[in-house]
Structure 1
Amino acid sequence: MGLFSRKKTEHVEEKQIPWNPLTDLKQLDEIVEESKTIPVAIFKHSTRCGISRMVLRNFESSYEIPVNQLKIYYLDLLSYRDISDEIGHKFQVMHQSPQLIVLKNGTAVANASHHSIDASELKNFV
């Protein structure tokens, strides 16, 4: 047995976030409309950044919002930089990575970046 080996004694259930991929600029208009009936969150993630990966893992492990209370989008900003740029322009939010933006009634009501992203804070918007 290695120095860092540990026997698994219990099964840990993985949480599944109901991600909606954000892959088309046209979706932004749909998101504005959706946010008029349900809060919407957009998670902008840089797939090449270690900090972004760590923040995403922490976010996913602490996310507990029921599907019918918040719609959540995932944006791979390296693959869809044009969408990331338009988000900044459309919602008047300076680009950060990673970044979480919350929309209600077509407007950005909150945003956080890097280690300030906390999934438990989303409960304040549902």
Structure 2
Amino acid sequence: MQKIDSIEQFDQLVESGETFFMLKHSTTCPISGAGYDEYAKFEANGNENLYYLTVQDSRDLSNHIAEKFHVKHESPQAILFVNSDVAWHASHFKITAKSLAAAKEENVQ
């Protein structure tokens, strides 16, 4: 899991066409903490290309993602990018290792 801090880093990742998950995470919210733990569990199951941002540190990036991809900001929020676009997203308690695995299976060839 790699932290992304800047719009430039994120845009380069999107432009690469890489399939990846992005988690918007708040360090002060227990629900966000639970979502982060599920994201880490998903990673521990051998999944790669997982990125996250901390909303408190990267508000501009969080807003950029919401505006560019028309996905209303929520925290926690997991977003799957496939072919440089949003293929799936979920928030709050819908972020589980199981839901992330299902999204990957349904959207990634």
- 1:54 equivalent in alignment to 2:34: yes
Give unmatched runs, 5+ long, in structure 1. 1-18
- 1:114 equivalent in alignment to 2:89: no
Give aligned pairs, total.
103
CA-CA distance at 1:122 after TM superposition: 4.0
- 1:90 equivalent in alignment to 2:71: no
Where do residues 19-58 of structure 1 align in structure 2 (5 Å cutoff)? Answer: 19-34=1-16, 36=17, 38-58=18-38
Q: Match for 1:116: what amino acid?
A: K
Q: Which has the higher helix share?
A: 2
Which has the larger Rg?
1
What is the TM-score when the length of structure 1 is the normalising length? 0.74
Give unmatched runs, 5+ long, in structure 2. none
Let me know the Cα RMSD of the aligned residues.
Answer: 1.6
SS in 1 for 2:7: coil
What is the TM-score when the length of structure 2 is the normalising length? 0.84
Contact 2:78 2:95 in 1 (8 A): yes
- Distance in structure 1 (CA, Å) of the matches to 2:14 and 2:35: 25
Contact 1:42 1:102 in 2 (8 A): yes
- Distance in structure 2 (CA, Å) of the matches to 1:43 and 1:62: 12
Provide the residue aligned with 2:77 in structure 1.
99
Q: After superposition, give the CA deviation of every residue in 1:56-78 in whole Å (9 maximum; x if it has no partner).
A: 113322442443xxx11110011
